[in-house]
């Protein structure tokens, strides 16, 4: 997972690796669930992801809570059709902006 923060726009970009599951939960927390002030917007790049389980969805939901729930601006980009189906079934298309 590569984390990049755009200071000008206060936008945090997370480029996920091939696995988005429990094994990265610590790195994920350190990257965006810290005690500090949440960023204005987040971009989760799923381009490289091949495997995802329910803990990934849990992490995304925690990020949404951290970023202000309904006021959160989180975009999930480069999702493969398969992942997009998973996110749809979980109702994430109503909570996040899917690209």
Compose the 51-80 pattern: x for residues touching another protein by CB under 8 A, - for all others.
-xxxx-xxx-xx------------------
Q: In this structure, what DSSP letter does residue 39 have?
A: P
DSSP 3-state of 21: coil
- Nearer residue to another protein within complex by CB, 48 or 61: 61
Q: How many residues bind another protein (CB under 8 A)?
A: 20
C-alpha 62/C-alpha 29 separation (Å) is: 9
89 binds another protein (CB under 8 A): yes
Q: E-assigned strands of 1-99?
A: 2-6, 11-15, 19-20, 41-45, 51-52, 74-77, 97-98
Instruction: Give the one residue of 15, 17, 22, 48 binding another protein; rule: CB under 8 A.
Output: 22
List residues binding another protein (CB under 8 A): 21-22, 25-26, 29, 33, 52-55, 57-59, 61-62, 85-86, 89-91
């Amino acid at each position: 997972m590569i984390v990049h923060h755009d200071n000008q726009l206060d936008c945090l970009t997370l480029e996920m690796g091939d696995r988005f599951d429990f094994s990265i939960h610590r790195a994920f927390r350190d990257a965006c669930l810290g005690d500090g002030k949440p960023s204005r917007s987040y971009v989760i790049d799923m381009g490289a992801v091949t495997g995802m389980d329910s803990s990934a969805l849990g992490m995304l939901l925690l990020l949404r809570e951290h970023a202000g729930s309904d006021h959160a601006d989180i975009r999930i980009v480069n999702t493969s059709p398969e992942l997009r189906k998973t996110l749809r079934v979980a109702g994430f298309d109503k909570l996040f902006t899917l690209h």
